Amino acid sequence: MKPEFDALGVNIKRRGAITDETLSIIHHLFGADVPGAYDGPLVKFPSFVFLPRPKRPPIWIGGNGPAAMNRAVKFGDGWHPMLPAPELKVKVEELIARARAAGRPNPEIVVRRGLRLDDLDAARAKVAAEQDAGATYFIYDLGRYPDESSFAKSIEIFIATVAR
């Protein structure tokens, strides 16, 4: 990731502060038809009319560490960790307890996984294990395919045999 930050001229060590303030601004802007002035450590702007305003999009926070979990509780509607199911279950329980303590609803728990569709029983078991671990939203990671037809066939198999 460092080369990506370098290409943008952003200090990678500031990414957490930038992310937190960006999320704070999103909540600020969607919190009122006429948001008040914003005076943060990185961004400042006056009050202005924000109409017509769409519904705030859901915010999924990615990452496994303490900072990501803090953001998920404070700003998120969902959490998208990269943890295997056995590790996920403990962290989901922790996150839900923290969300409740903060007066927040249970977040969506988003997992992205690949599945081998040549063993449908194993694929179903993997999805079930993710659900048991607390996953509420499953993104089927299709990986790379040689062509569009192969990609579409994989989706059809998944929908017809695993996601039913």
Q: State the DSSP string of 11-25.
A: -GGGHHHHHHHHHHH
Q: What is the mean pLDDT of residues 27-52?
A: 89
- Determine the length of the chain: 164
45 shares its domain with 62:
no
64 shares its domain with 48:
no
Model confidence over 99-140: pLDDT tens digits? 999 999 999 999 999 888 889 899 899 999 999 999 999 998
108 shares its domain with 164:
yes
pLDDT at 81: 96
Mode of pairing for the β-strands spanning 38-39 and 44-45: antiparallel
Say which residues have a Cβ less than 8 Å from residue 127's Cβ, sequence separation at least 6.
Answer: 113, 115, 138, 162, 163
Range of the domain at 46: 1-55
d(CA 43, CA 102): 26
88 shares its domain with 154:
yes
Between 143 and 43, the higher pLDDT residue: 43
Q: What is the 8-class DSSP label of residue 104?
A: P
Q: Confirm if 99 and 79 have CB atoms less than 8 A apart.
A: no
Q: What is the 8-class DSSP label of residue 57?
A: P
162 shares its domain with 98:
yes
77 shares its domain with 15:
no
pLDDT at 87: 94
Element (H, E) at 78: strand 78-80
